[in-house]
Copies of this chain bind each other. A is one copy, B any other.
């Protein structure tokens, strides 16, 4: 197997990369240039600079995220059928808008790399963050009913996306039973997750919200074969507060407090979970991973 060093300041997995380099090594450094010298000894250096969409485009069958994404549970042949309807465009830059609320919806969007936030603008013109999406996760389920986007989506960093035309999924799912089940599962999961967030917002304190949020990210990163205890927040503090129903200042203060308790180590967007058991306690979760 080929090995590669993937150095990326945004530190999120990139599905085409993982497919080309099964033994991909991710170096965690906010300043990737520092590592250039040590990189030369490796078989191949991959950086955001030489990463080109066409070179790294992969099919669903070869995507390392397929077990987390729509093709999960599909057979090889079924996956190929799905793959044929998937459209892969060029990456979105940080801050670029994927779609806006109200625009017609014809496709679901699967994140291939990077990160996205979805949000709404309320009657005062204030942004209202609804969710964050990591590689392998799918946006747009809220718009199927009225066939238009009910929320907007913006790239939080350089983000690759797979477009999945909904009409064709609808047709395919009549013959591919696994696909039909998977669609129901994904929709159902989103409902469950939204309800969990409702409970969070209805009852929990600032600290519990942040704790749960960080644990949620940690678990999602772990599913993506990234470090569960050391990661980079793709979103700003404002977005976190907005999402959790807290003021930015409160988010900042809770981060400071958790650092004081030795639970976290925070440096800007870099987060390290130092005492996972305690963080699980704050989030009212069973601690699954030993630190």
Judge if A54 is at the interface, Cβ distance under 8 Å. Answer: no
Residue interface bits A173-186, CB-to-B below 8 A is 1, else 0: 11101001101111
Which one of B123, B130, B189, B190 lies within 8 Å of A284 (CB-CB)? B123
The reply to whether A199 and B284 contact each other, CB–CB distance below 8 Å, is no
A184 touches B144 (CB 8 A): yes
Q: How far is the CA of A130 from the CA of B141 in the complex (A)?
A: 20
A123-B284, A202-B243 are known contacts. Are A192 and B142 too (CB-CB below 8 A)? yes
Smallest CB separation, A239 vs chain B (Å): 12
Work out how many copies of this chain go into the complex: 2
Report B-chain residues with C-beta under 8 Å of the C-beta of A192: 142-143, 145, 150
A188→B145 contact, CB < 8 A? yes
A97-154 with Cβ < 8 A to chain B: 120, 122-123, 126, 128, 130, 141-145, 150-151
Complex Cα distance A120/B195, Å?
10
Instruction: Sort chain A's interface into a size bin.
Output: 35 or more
C-beta contact mask, A237-254 vs B, less than 8 Å → 1, else 0?
000001111000000000
Select which of B130, B144, B245 is within 8 A of A195 by beta carbon: B130
Closest partner residue, chain B, to A191 (CB atom): B142
Add 7 more A-B contacts to A128-B203, A144-B188, A170-B181 (CB < 8 A).
Answer: A122-B203, A143-B188, A144-B184, A194-B194, A198-B198, A201-B201, A202-B242
Question: Footprint of B on A, CB under 8 Å?
Answer: 120, 122-123, 126, 128, 130, 141-145, 150-151, 170, 173-175, 177, 180-181, 183-192, 194-195, 197-199, 201-203, 242-245, 284
